[in-house]
Amino acid sequence: MNLSETGWLRPALGLVLAVALLRWTLLALNRTDLFVDEAQYWLWGQHFAFGYYSKPPLIAWVIGAVTGLVGSDAPFWVRMPGAAFHGATALLLGALAARGGRALALWTVAAYLTLPMVAFGSLILSTDTIMAPFFAAALLFHARLIERGRTTDAVLAGVMVGVACLAKYAGVYFLIGVALAAILRRDLRIGWRNAGLMVLAWAVTLSPNLIWNLTHGLSTFSHTADNIGWVKEDSAGPGLNPASMAEFVVSQFGVMGPVLFGALVTGLWRFRQNAQLAAFALPALAVVSVQALLDKAYANWAVSAYFAGTVLAMTLLANRPRLRLGGVAINTSLALALPLLTVFPEVRLGGDRPFLFRYLGRADLSQQIIALAQQPGNLPVVSTDRDVLADLFYTGRASGLAFYAPRPQGKPQSHYEQSYPLPADLPGQVLVITGRPMPCLGAPMPLKADGGAFARRNLAAYVADAACAGQL
């Protein structure tokens, strides 16, 4: 089927462009600092590699390519790809939904663009955002493979999920979905040959990162495993934490929006009937729910469920137009509120500090540290705080200063310990930033961090000998 013949593509493209332009306009007015992860991804993007300490490489490549092409490292350009990647994802999901007609395709595009997770992902660049269009493309090629049985679609699906995994290893949920759909329904089986070609294409696409990990002590894989607290070497093993699981499940109403997530849960309840889409939504939700029960899980860990999940939710709401409209309207309100908060980030919303405090005060603290380091004559800066180092490398990129993490005691605990440890033979004095004072550090110089990300860190600056800093 030629999907453009259903008449959905032109209006959908117009909606995607309009939303992207609005998001870029509000992004230009955004007054938040780069988050610690964004600053780290930016740093990675300055040095091309097939892997990095805690994540696969695609997000770093994207940031490096965009900032290099425009000749600017401003926060706008670091974050600019978000709206474009989500716009592309919306169109790919529209193509997947177009099998159910023009209306379903258009509603799917509108629904995806207004998901709270998409609104947030268009403001703060994350690996979920970079993974999104490739996961959606894999879903589309899988649907075509079921319809036509062509090996080309199997290979393309494998390549797309391989690229998705180069953004975030959660892309592997796609392969689990393919197997689950085939187990549940005969008409969703793609055949052993096509399955083999898909897996081979995935493995070949991902192989540069696999090789990089093998030659770098399995760094990224090890960090990913560390996020699963109960499998750590020093862990007492899994326990049961029902409150954590309940918190995770409730958070998903905020990630997808209350009405759409409710519709998705209904679709998952009738799993076999909706297997072609449900098989790609259930694995991430089930696995992360179990992880939350055994330890903890962040709200975004199941994001891969909501690509097929959005199409499934809108399919089930097709015969309930008022509920469908209400769900998209609620999400649209949230999608508008989030960027407006970044324009007025001092808003407190009833708390004792700004609602977006995690995204404030980072650059200001870095500027204070840089000024202190430059006064005695460009002292190297050593910090025990990963968040501080992340922003120092970004905000201090033109300062001429050197920034270091403490030397690792055993396995490096951050990218900075891995790639920028304090040299053992560094002479002279350094500026130490830490919340853990030691006798050899001397008198502290307080740092002002009111109301922002570092307000409760009790950080101070110390001028000390490099030998003292080596004891951190």
Secondary structure of the chain in the HEC alphabet?
CCHHHHCCHHHHHHHHHHHHHHHHHHHHCCCCCCCHHHHHHHHHCCCCCCCCCCCCCHHHHHHHHHHHHHCCCCHHHHHCHHHHHHHHHHHHHHHHHHHHCHHHHHHHHHHHHHCHHHHHHCCCCCHHHHHHHHHHHHHHHHHHHHHHCCHHHHHHHHHHHHHHHHHCHHHHHHHHHHHHHHHHCHHHCCCHHHHHHHHHHHHHHHHHHHHHHHHCCCHHHHHHHHCCHHHCCCCCCCCCCHHHHHHHHHHHHHHHCHHHHHHHHHHHHCCCCCHHHHHHHHHHHHHHHHHHHHCCCCHHHHCCHHHHHHHHHHHHCCCCHHHHHHHHHHHHHHHHHHHHHHHCCCCCCCCCCCCCHHHCCHHHHHHHHHHHHHCCCCCCEEECCHHHHHHHHHHCCCCCCCEEECCCCCCCCCHHHHHCECCCCCCCEEEEEECCCCHHHCCCEECCCCCCCCCCCCCEEEEEEHHHHCCC
Tell me which of 296, 317, 343 is where a domain ends.
343
Same domain for 276 and 379, yes or no, is no
Tell me which of 343, 374, 391 is where a domain ends.
343
- Within a domain: residue 392? yes
- Within a domain: residue 354? no
- Within a domain: residue 281? yes
- Per-residue confidence (pLDDT) for residue 223, from 0 to 100: 73
- Within a domain: residue 382? yes
In order of 368, 403, 437, 446, the CA distances from 373 in angstroms are 9, 10, 18, 14
- Within a domain: residue 348? no
Number of domain units in the chain: 2
22/83 Cα distance (integer angstroms): 9
Same domain for 40 and 146, yes or no, is yes
Same domain for 195 and 304, yes or no, is yes
Structural domain boundaries enclosing 412: 361-469
Same domain for 177 and 228, yes or no, is yes
- Per-residue confidence (pLDDT) for residue 98, from 0 to 100: 96
Same domain for 135 and 283, yes or no, is yes
Same domain for 290 and 428, yes or no, is no
- Per-residue confidence (pLDDT) for residue 1, from 0 to 100: 41
Residue in the structure block whose two tokens are 């909501």: 306
Tell me which of 293, 313, 343 is where a domain ends.
343
Q: How far is CA 189 from the centre of its chain?
A: 31
- Within a domain: residue 349? no
Q: What Rg, from alpha-carbon coordinates, does the chain have?
A: 24
190/132 Cα distance (integer angstroms): 23
Q: pLDDT tens digits, the chain, 472 residues: what are they?
A: 444 447 999 999 999 999 999 999 999 999 999 999 999 999 999 999 999 999 999 999 999 999 999 999 999 999 999 999 999 999 999 999 999 999 999 999 999 999 999 999 999 999 999 999 999 999 999 999 999 999 999 999 999 999 999 999 999 999 999 999 999 999 999 999 999 999 999 999 999 999 999 998 888 877 777 666 545 555 555 678 899 999 999 999 999 999 999 999 999 999 889 999 999 999 999 999 999 999 889 999 999 999 999 999 999 999 999 999 999 999 999 999 999 999 999 998 877 889 999 999 999 999 999 999 998 789 999 999 999 999 999 999 999 999 999 999 888 899 999 999 999 999 999 999 999 888 899 899 989 988 899 998 889 999 999 999 998 8
Same domain for 320 and 405, yes or no, is no
Partners of 446 in the beta sheet? Answer: 460
Length of the chain: 472
Same domain for 318 and 374, yes or no, is no
pTM comes to 0.94
- Per-residue confidence (pLDDT) for residue 238, from 0 to 100: 63
Same domain for 389 and 260, yes or no, is no
459/208 Cα distance (integer angstroms): 40
- Per-residue confidence (pLDDT) for residue 240, from 0 to 100: 87
- Per-residue confidence (pLDDT) for residue 303, from 0 to 100: 97
- Per-residue confidence (pLDDT) for residue 164, from 0 to 100: 98
- Per-residue confidence (pLDDT) for residue 4, from 0 to 100: 47
Name the phi and psi angles at 26, rounded to 5: -70, -30
Same domain for 319 and 367, yes or no, is no
Same domain for 37 and 169, yes or no, is yes
- Within a domain: residue 314? yes
- Per-residue confidence (pLDDT) for residue 221, from 0 to 100: 78
Instruction: Tell me the one-letter amino acid at 30.
Output: N
- Within a domain: residue 53? yes
Same domain for 173 and 270, yes or no, is yes
